[in-house]
Chain A
Amino acid sequence: MRLIEALISALMVAGLYATMSYGLALIYGVMKIINLANAGSMMLASFATFFLWQTFGLDPLAAVLIVAPLFFVVGAVIEAFLVRRVVNEKPVISLLLLFGVLLVMQAGASFFLGGDVRSVRPVYIQEVVHFGDVTLAYNRIFVFLAGLIILVALELFLRNTFLGRAIRALAQDRDACRLAGIDVRRVSMIAFGLGTALAGAAGALLTAVFPFDPSNPYGVLQLKSFTIIVLGGLESIPGVAAAAFVLAAAENLTVTLSKPQLENLVSFLLLVVVLVVMPGGLAALIRRRRIA
């Protein structure tokens, strides 16, 4: 019985894990850049949501609709003024640049807002619902549903809109797009903006479930999202969602079956193993099996 409980609670947190990873997958797909500043955008979004909740009593789930567009602009600005200058340098250069942006975001938040722990307590924080003897809190269910809605919206956007198809084309072959007359700079900016907006959405959703401060839990969550995008491969958004569930399930099973303190140790080891064993992720593994 305990296993079902663990898997259900994994499903709930997978919504959050997936949302924070879509942005990374999108940005890496299009610009072949690992956006280390993703954790910083999530953190700033959490603080923005906290501000909206504290002053206007706005519920975090509603705040997503304000925070996400705001961070689209933040992402676009970062791409236009910083990332664009180093995009054709060695990938390590852009990694260091975005690492600098992350440091500025974290230190800036602590410098101006102070480093202590905050938590948003939505009105339904204590409400629970029972399925048999599995109890589920409302806030976790809402975060999961929000994650699902974002998954569907993102998939529709990428499939059915011009911009979405341009982004997917750019992911396949940047030069071919340039030849086909796509304004690569504009689409890159939009892709980076969209990726940061997704990180913002995840940051807002996170406040409904966990307490936070400028460095916790964003560093750990960022590492988990690396595992997810590598595991899920970069081509398919549903692949990322599936990988998010796999990671959440692995963590919960570790805690249930063995010692709780080993949860993060397992996810970090998983990161290294996944990177080394299948650099292309599940999708590449499947493709490779078809070729050989």
Chain B
Amino acid sequence: MTRLLSRFSKRALVIAQIVIVFAIAITIALIPTIDERSFNLQRIAFFVLWYAILASSWNIIGGYAGQISFGHAAFLGLGAYVTGILWSELHWSPLVSLPIAGAIAAAYGVIVGIPTLRLRGPYFAIATIGVGEATRLFFVNFDDIFGVTLTRGVTGLSLSPGREEMFDPVNVLRLTAVVFVVVMLATMWIRAGRFGLGLFAINMDRDAAETAGVPTARLQVLALAVSAFFAASAGSLYAARQQFLDPASMFGFDKSIALVLMPVVGGIGTVWGPVFGAILYSTVQDQITSIVRNPYLPALIYGLLLIVIVIFEPLGIAGLLGRSTKYVRMLVLPRDGEP
């Protein structure tokens, strides 16, 4: 009997999660239609969705496969610059360049992933710091190395939107809502499926997974490629909205730090953890300076939060929520291999 019940409640769980994802996306997509002048709400909504996309994409490799990447801003920046350059050189709309940017970043993820993913735990993390910083410096000196003027180095690449529809922040917000839905569905689909189960097996014991037939190298590289694809799509969305890119901001180590903090603080390896982390991070980042003048308070908070979470509640906010009612726990803390 229990198995029947679990199969029924499992299906209900999936539907509930999908409905929640759509509810969030549709409400945000309709904000501009409801109140045209709600620029502040649109601004906040964009950054919450944007950080959620980034955190969820990082979670695929960092949360599911357990390979912590400290250099994920490399893919974010790559996506932004591909969209920026395709627009300023060929006038391709971000709508067109978003998937291309994702594909290029995924390819870069494979090239970088194959050698580094062989490394274990801390060594992989350190290698990603190296990759992240090397990518930043590569883009700072891109024009000098290749003798072209594409990225304009430290000065920054400014995009003149002209009449392109896709540079209107309202359209960018809606595209972000769509990408958010795609990313959340993808992470749920991966987590519940064969791919996710394989990643969790790798996370727990790579050698045991290997002997159980799991092609660990191939799965990890695929996970990094998918993660890179979605991180790059966030880069394209940023380029479309802010219309100005500079290497220090797009590839900065502080971005890579944020990409580690959000999923870990929110609940690493869970579906909704990264979203909780993104909401917390974007609100603290945006609103704290209105309360306390000193700009270093957010970083101090994150540092303390990280220590507390690692020691007392490894599943972060999701873990804390999970301690409440059974249903919340089922929603927030699914078993490995379930959405």
Q: Do chains A and B touch in the complex (CB under 8 A)?
A: yes
On A, residues with C-beta under 8 Å from B are 33-34, 82, 85-86, 90-93, 95-97, 99-108, 110-111, 115, 219-220, 223, 226-227, 230, 259, 261-262, 264-265, 268-269, 271-272, 275-276, 279
B116 to A275, Cβ gap below 8 A? Answer: yes
B296 to A111, Cβ gap below 8 A? Answer: yes
Beyond A95-B121, A259-B144, A261-B141, is A100–B130 a contact (Cβ under 8 Å)?
Answer: no
Determine which of A93, A97, A107, A219 lies in contact with B296 in the assembled complex, contact meaning CB atoms within 8 Å. A107
A276 to B119, Cβ gap below 8 A? Answer: yes
B123 to A275, Cβ gap below 8 A? Answer: yes
Beyond A96-B310, A100-B310, is A268–B304 a contact (Cβ under 8 Å)?
Answer: no
B130 to A223, Cβ gap below 8 A? Answer: yes
**Distance in Å: Cβ of B132 to nearest Cβ of chain A:** 8
Cβ-based interface call for B127 (8 A): yes
**Distance in Å: Cβ of B137 to nearest Cβ of chain A:** 4
- Chain B contact-residue range equals 35 or more
Cβ-based interface call for B29 (8 A): no
Cβ-based interface call for B271 (8 A): no
Besides the contacts A96-B260, A96-B306, what 4 more A-B pairs have beta carbons closer than 8 Å? A107-B300, A271-B126, A275-B126, A276-B115
Cβ-based interface call for B134 (8 A): yes
User: Considering the complex, which residues of chain B in the window 247-302 have a beta carbon less than 8 Å from any beta carbon of chain A?
Assistant: 253, 257, 260, 264, 294, 296-300, 302
Q: Given the complex of chains A and B, what is the CA–CA distance between A275 and B128 in angstroms?
A: 10
Cβ-based interface call for B122 (8 A): yes
Beyond A110-B296, A268-B130, is A96–B144 a contact (Cβ under 8 Å)?
Answer: no
A226 to B310, Cβ gap below 8 A? Answer: no
Determine which of B127, B137, B264, B294 lies in contact with A272 in the assembled complex, contact meaning CB atoms within 8 Å. B127
Name B301's closest neighbour in chain A (CB-CB): A107
Q: Given the complex of chains A and B, what is the CA–CA distance between A90 and B125 in angstroms?
A: 13
Beyond A104-B304, A275-B116, is A259–B141 a contact (Cβ under 8 Å)?
Answer: yes
> Which residues of chain A are near B257, meaning CB under 8 Å?
103
Cβ-based interface call for B133 (8 A): yes
> Which residues of chain B are near A90, meaning CB under 8 Å?
66, 121
> Which residues of chain A are near B131, meaning CB under 8 Å?
268, 272
**Distance in Å: Cβ of B93 to nearest Cβ of chain A:** 33
A95 to B137, Cβ gap below 8 A? Answer: no
**Distance in Å: Cβ of A24 to nearest Cβ of chain B:** 10
Q: Is the interface of A mostly helix, strand, loop or mixed?
A: helix
**Distance in Å: Cβ of B81 to nearest Cβ of chain A:** 17
A96 to B68, Cβ gap below 8 A? Answer: yes
B133 to A104, Cβ gap below 8 A? Answer: no
When A and B form their complex, what is the total count of cross-chain residue pairs whose Cβ atoms lie within 8 Å? 130
User: Considering the complex, which residues of chain B in the window 298-320 have a beta carbon less than 8 Å from any beta carbon of chain A?
Assistant: 298-300, 302-307, 310-311, 314
Provide 19 A-B residue pairs closer than 8 Å at the C-beta atoms, listed in order of the A residue: A34-B126, A91-B120, A91-B122, A92-B66, A99-B260, A100-B304, A103-B303, A107-B299, A107-B300, A226-B130, A230-B126, A261-B141, A264-B133, A265-B141, A268-B133, A272-B115, A275-B116, A275-B127, A276-B127
B303 to A102, Cβ gap below 8 A? Answer: yes
B314 to A93, Cβ gap below 8 A? Answer: yes
User: Considering the complex, which residues of chain B in the window 90-146 have a beta carbon less than 8 Å from any beta carbon of chain A?
Assistant: 115-116, 118-123, 125-127, 129-131, 133-134, 137-138, 140-141, 144
Q: Given the complex of chains A and B, what is the CA–CA distance between A111 and B293 in angstroms?
A: 10
Q: Given the complex of chains A and B, what is the CA–CA distance between A120 and B6 in angstroms?
A: 67
Q: Given the complex of chains A and B, what is the CA–CA distance between A116 and B268 in angstroms?
A: 35
Rank and list the top 4 A-B pairs by shortest CB-CB distance, nearest first: A103-B303, A100-B306, A107-B299, A104-B303
Q: Given the complex of chains A and B, what is the CA–CA distance between A100 and B260 in angstroms?
A: 11
**Distance in Å: Cβ of B245 to nearest Cβ of chain A:** 19
Determine which of A101, A226, A227, A275 lies in contact with B307 in the assembled complex, contact meaning CB atoms within 8 Å. A101
> Which residues of chain B are near A268, meaning CB under 8 Å?
130-131, 133-134, 137
> Which residues of chain A are near B298, meaning CB under 8 Å?
107
> Which residues of chain A are near B116, meaning CB under 8 Å?
272, 275-276
Determine which of A96, A226, A275 lies in contact with B264 in the assembled complex, contact meaning CB atoms within 8 Å. A96
A103 to B299, Cβ gap below 8 A? Answer: yes
Q: Given the complex of chains A and B, what is the CA–CA distance between A51 and B160 in angstroms?
A: 49
**Distance in Å: Cβ of A232 to nearest Cβ of chain B:** 14
B119 to A92, Cβ gap below 8 A? Answer: no
Name A229's closest neighbour in chain B (CB-CB): B126
**Distance in Å: Cβ of A98 to nearest Cβ of chain B:** 9
**Distance in Å: Cβ of A23 to nearest Cβ of chain B:** 16
**Distance in Å: Cβ of B278 to nearest Cβ of chain A:** 18
Q: Given the complex of chains A and B, what is the CA–CA distance between A110 and B122 in angstroms?
A: 27
